[in-house]
């Protein structure tokens, strides 16, 4: 059987249909949020980050995975020293493969949550033995993440590529004020909003200056009802904040650049007030109150630095100056 929607829930509920006592995840790229969810499962899980052997790993993502390794008893995370782009989800019982899904979906929010973009398919029993041999071979060339020591640089890449650019997103409008009914104060406007709803506004110069940071909107993305309007459901992403908080996010809205549609803002998912409450807490602004320029200046900054850690995984730096 082939699956093209609800892949995350498929993986996390599959054990209820199959006798299993272990899950093995091999993924080209990893996201910290699905790895953290493995704590919910009633058995041990092994996760292998396949493309470490090609591109290495950036420190922010590495630290998030280390946190899971050190704090979740039933999860072990390995980095493959040989480049592996495969995506395999294998359920075992008494060390024998009982069920497996293979396909194109990485073990990340971006890979598992965008309908129709990625697929997973059930394998037949005749593939179980060679699949087990394949995984064993990769494990022999893998290192547990706690044994990986990275240089002190913010980013490590094993290729000759340049370091990822950091986009500075302003929390002020063009007049130097916090917007009245969008941005951090989205929820202060009229309509179907919560008081603490907020977003980060992506401007056209961000798109032109950082073309690899914000992906175009996919035309095949399904339409959803927001309030009384239909809008296209953009890709879900993972956000890692400078204080270690991990948040599901959404690239929302639409703005055309040279005939291509790009997102207009970052919001939190499944509710837009998650990011609004989080930022207000860091600023010391009471929930439900409007955020002002004075609040940001008292905190010490009026921008958030945004960089791309990996496919669908963003790092937001809102650290106050020391």
Residue 96 and residue 15 share a domain: yes
pLDDT, position 227: 44
> Based on the structure, what is the number of domains in the chain?
2
Residue 130 and residue 22 share a domain: yes
Q: Report yes or no on 20 lying in a domain.
A: yes
Q: Which of 116, 147, 178 is the last residue of a domain?
A: 147
Give the helix/strand (H/E) hosting 281. helix 273-283
Per the structure, the complete domain to which residue 288 belongs is given by: 167-317
Residue 87 and residue 45 share a domain: yes
Q: Which of 147, 181, 199 is the last residue of a domain?
A: 147
The CATH number of the domain where 67 resides is what? 3.30.870.10
Q: Report yes or no on 160 lying in a domain.
A: no
Residue 141 and residue 242 share a domain: no
pLDDT, position 151: 67
> Would you call 286 exposed, middle or buried from its count of C-beta atoms within 10 A (0-12, 13-18, 19+)?
exposed
> Would you call 271 exposed, middle or buried from its count of C-beta atoms within 10 A (0-12, 13-18, 19+)?
middle
Give the strand pairing for 44-49 and 75-80: parallel
Residue 219 and residue 129 share a domain: no
Residue 173 and residue 132 share a domain: no
CA–CA distance, 266 with 264 (Å, rounded to integer): 7
3-state secondary structure of 309: strand
φ, ψ (nearest 5 deg) of residue 167: -95, 125
Residue 286 and residue 191 share a domain: yes
Residue 188 and residue 141 share a domain: no
Give the helix/strand (H/E) hosting 297. helix 293-299
Q: Report yes or no on 162 lying in a domain.
A: no
Q: Report yes or no on 106 lying in a domain.
A: yes
Residue 26 and residue 143 share a domain: yes
One digit per residue, the tens of pLDDT, for the chain of length 322 reads: 999 989 999 999 999 999 999 999 999 999 999 999 999 999 999 999 999 999 899 889 999 999 999 999 999 999 999 999 999 999 999 999 999 999 999 999 999 988 788 999 999 999 999 999 999 999 999 999 999 987 654 444 343 333 457 899 999 999 999 999 999 999 998 888 899 999 999 999 999 888 889 888 866 555 544 444 444 456 789 999 999 999 999 998 889 888 888 999 999 999 999 999 999 999 999 999 999 999 999 999 999 999 998 889 999 999 998 7
pLDDT, position 149: 86
Q: Which of 112, 147, 182 is the last residue of a domain?
A: 147
Residue 287 and residue 172 share a domain: yes
pLDDT, position 219: 63
Q: Report yes or no on 157 lying in a domain.
A: no
Q: Report yes or no on 161 lying in a domain.
A: no
pLDDT, position 162: 38
Q: Report yes or no on 182 lying in a domain.
A: yes
Residue 204 and residue 285 share a domain: yes
Residue 125 and residue 75 share a domain: yes
Q: Report yes or no on 7 lying in a domain.
A: yes
CA–CA distance, 270 with 253 (Å, rounded to integer): 15
């Amino acid at each position: 059987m082939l699956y093209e929607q609800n892949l995350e829930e498929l993986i996390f509920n599959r054990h209820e249909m199959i006798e299993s006592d272990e899950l093995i995840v091999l993924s080209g790229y990893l996201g910290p949020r699905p790895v953290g969810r493995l704590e919910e499962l009633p058995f041990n899980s092994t996760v292998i980050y396949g493309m470490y052997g090609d591109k290495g790993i950036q420190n922010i993502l590495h630290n998030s995975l280390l946190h899971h390794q050190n704090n979740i008893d039933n999860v072990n995370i390995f980095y493959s020293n040989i480049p592996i782009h495969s995506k395999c989800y294998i359920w075992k019982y008494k060390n024998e493969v009982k069920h497996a899904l293979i396909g194109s979906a990485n073990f990340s929010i971006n890979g598992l949550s965008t309908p129709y973009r990625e697929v997973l398919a059930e394998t037949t029993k005749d593939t179980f033995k060679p699949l087990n041999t394949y995984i064993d071979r990769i494990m022999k060339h893998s290192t547990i993440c706690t044994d990986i020591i990275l240089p002190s640089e913010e980013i490590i890449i094993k290729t000759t590529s340049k370091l990822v650019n950091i986009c500075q997103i302003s929390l002020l409008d063009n007049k130097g004020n916090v917007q009245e009914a969008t941005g951090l104060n989205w929820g202060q406007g009229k309509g179907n909003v919560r008081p603490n709803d907020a977003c980060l506004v992506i401007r056209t110069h961000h798109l032109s200056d950082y073309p690899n940071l914000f992906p175009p909107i996919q035309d095949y993305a399904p339409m959803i009802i927001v309030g009384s309007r239909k809008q296209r459901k953009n890709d879900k992403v993972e956000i890692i904040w400078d204080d270690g908080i991990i948040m599901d996010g959404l690239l929302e809205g639409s703005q055309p650049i040279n005939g291509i549609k790009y997102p207009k803002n970052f919001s939190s998912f499944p509710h837009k007030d998650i990011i609004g409450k989080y930022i207000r807490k860091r600023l010391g602004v009471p929930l439900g109150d409007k955020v002002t320029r004075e609040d940001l200046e008292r905190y010490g900054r009026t921008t958030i630095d945004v960089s791309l850690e990996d496919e669908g995984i963003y790092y937001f730096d809102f650290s106050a100056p020391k």
